[in-house]
Structure 1
Amino acid sequence: MHRTVLRELMKKLLIAVCSAFLCALSMNFFLIPAKVYASGINGAAQLMTDVLRDYFHLSLSIGALVLLLNLPIALLGWFRVGKSFTFFSFVTVLFTSLFLSAIPVYPLSHDLLLNAIFGGIISAVGVGIALKYGISTGGLDIIAIYLTRKNRNASSGKYFLILNGIIIVVAGAVYEWQYALYTLISRFVNSYVIDMIHTKYQKLTVITVTEQADKLVSAIQDQFDRGATVIPSYGGFTKKKHYSVMIVISHYELYQMEQLIKRVDPNSFTDILETNKIIGVFHTEEQQRAVQAMKHGETSEKAKHALGDKDYHHFEQLFHAKAKNGGLSGRFPFQGE
């Protein structure tokens, strides 16, 4: 068990370092020499460095500024988003800052379009592999998750669009508009490649065909606060009876869900579908933590505030009834058995 946890930790650290290296490489070899701006906090740091140097004659390292801007965001993430997610995100930020300072700024091409495209592709590969393994490149990801929790009807993509839009407009107004337009091209390429590597959808539907539905649902309920629908099914070729477990998750939970399914039933078959819209209850990460706390007998005003009175009393009665009846047990029956 400890060896598995250690292996998972080392894998995430390696992914964080690789992601940071690719992001720094894209900036120092392509984006910075062409005055094409990266996305999020890295782009904001790049723009601030240019403005301070060109208008106020102040020289400041982009790497140092990236780290400085991410420090208050890391504190926000640690207390409001999640410690594990924030830790690995900050590790990525730390190595990005180091690589930005260590790798020399060297233009591989003087063609603005080539710099915009390849800078966008390389940084997208870094961001994409980080997201694929359940971590992020820090900065805006943490802010977007926090703001989305505060305003449950808004998507995190809205906040990415706002900050990147500000960077593009300021770059065009302060410098030449061609740099803003090339930045826009780079952001388009960046988003497209990230979508190919990870997913552009905020919500995903996971359908797992398994013979161990009871164990899988129990594990899901223990690690996530997500409802699962169990559908009796059978193999079209083998005619063997199975269960299809359907669950809707956020894209930040995808890696954890994949690992959980592999751990519970390595022989299961899983289909991951893109979900455009949900009508009904879908708990935020803050609400999930509140439900998990209640599940373990902890009650607080914070949980009541996160869930609302109606949901709070619903889960209070549900967990009380489960405790009284000894929890969920038994297997899921097929119709007619």
Structure 2
Amino acid sequence: MFLFEAKRIVIVIVGALLNAIALNFFLISADVYASGFTGMAQLLSTIFSEYVGVDFISTGIWLLLLNIPVAILGWFKVGKHFTIYSFLSVAVTTTFLEILPIISFSEDIMLNAVFGGVLAGVGIGITLKWGASTGGSDIVAMVLSRMKDRPIGSYLMIINGIIIVLAGYLNEPENALYTLLALYVSTRVIDALHTRHEKVTAMIVTKKADELQRAIHDTMIRGITILPARGAYTREDKAMLVLVITRYELYDLERIIYEVDPKAFTNVVQTTGIFGFFRKND
């Protein structure tokens, strides 16, 4: 498990580096904005620099400041593991943003938007795949989704929509279009690396159903259906646990299964819609 967590930390650091490169080498110099709180940090840096005259607070510092209250919220409402690694990603991203210079490889805004979107998408995608996020918008969207039981994507769309509108207002209208292009490219890359579906269904065949059920409920509040199962070849009696989770919980579920029953067989399938209770508090 030490090597497992060490690899997770390395992945988070690499994702943070890719995000910082996307910002400092492509997006910031072209006045194209990233998604989520990273884009908000860019907007605040632009507003305070050009309209207030305060230019000593960089995008990286704004990103860190925005995520402090969100990290506290995530600690109590989302999960400690997810919040710790998410804040680690933010802190490392801030460090790289301060270290790396802001340069421009091209004067073409479209090229900056596309390449910045690709690098940001890769950074976010691999970070999500390993059970963390790159900013506070994911945590805020997850909390709101659990309160209203609505898709996380709808809340992220609202946040990104605000960023697109302000990008066009603070700069030229075409900057809003290029920001939309960068967001579209990054989203497509994230979907390719992680999963485009907000919810997935996990079917776990195991001999340790009770232990696995308790371990899952200790980490996440999710309903589980336990069905009897039998191996066709071995004729051994087993149990199958069926549960629906969000894509952000995939890593934690994989870790739990690995700790409790490494020999368990798990099938994860896409879930396009659910009816009834998805989450129930104690």
Give yes or no for the alignment of 1:182 onto 2:178: yes
Which one scores higher on RCO, CA 8 angstroms, separation ≥ 6?
2
> RMSD across aligned C-alpha pairs, in angstroms?
2.2
Identity %: 43
Residues 15-26 of structure 1: pairs in structure 2 closer than 5 A: 15-26=11-22
In structure 1, distance between residues paired with 2:258 and 2:72: 33
Tell me if structure 2 keeps the 8 A contact 1:116–1:183.
Answer: yes
Partner residue of 2:201 out of 188, 198, 205: 205
- Spell out, residue by residue over 1:234-284, the C-alpha distance to the aligned partner (whole angstroms, 9 max, x if none): 43xx37445443222222221111122233333333221111111122216
Q: Deviations over 1:257-312 (max 9, x none)?
A: 1122233333333221111111122216xx2xxx3xxxxxxxxxxxxxxxxxxxxx
Aligned with residue 256 of structure 1, among 252, 256, 268: 252
Query: 1:36 aligns to what SS in structure 2?
Result: coil
Cα distance in structure 1, aligned partners of 2:199 and 2:133: 17
Q: What amino acid is the match of 1:123?
A: A
Count residues with an aligned counterpart: 279
Structure 1 residue 104: deviation in Å? Answer: 0.4
Q: Give the drift of 1:57.
A: 3.4
Contact 2:17 2:93 in 1 (8 A): yes
Confirm or deny that 1:99 pairs with 2:108. Answer: no
98, 116, 119: which one aligns with 1:119: 116
How far apart, CA to CA, are the structure 1 residues paired with 2:100 and 2:155? 30
2:44 is aligned to 48
So what's the TM-score if we normalise by structure 2? Answer: 0.89
Task: Decide whether aligned partners of structure 1 residues 61 and 217 sit closer, same or farther in structure 2, where only a CA change above 3 A counts.
Answer: closer
1:84 paired residue number: 81
Letter matched to residue 74 of structure 2: G
The corresponding residue for 1:303 is none
Q: Where does 1:1-337 land on structure 2 (aligned, <5 Å)?
A: 4=1, 6-59=2-55, 60-152=57-149, 154-213=150-209, 215-225=211-221, 226-235=223-232, 238=233, 240-241=235-236, 243-283=239-279, 287=281, 291=282
The answer on whether the counterparts of 2:204 and 2:267 sit within 8 Å (CA) in structure 1 is: yes
Gaps of 5+ in 2: none
Within 2, Cα distance between the matches of 1:62 and 1:223?
34
Gaps of 5+ in 1: 292-337
AA in 2 matched with 1:267: K
Q: Secondary structure at the match of 1:34?
A: coil
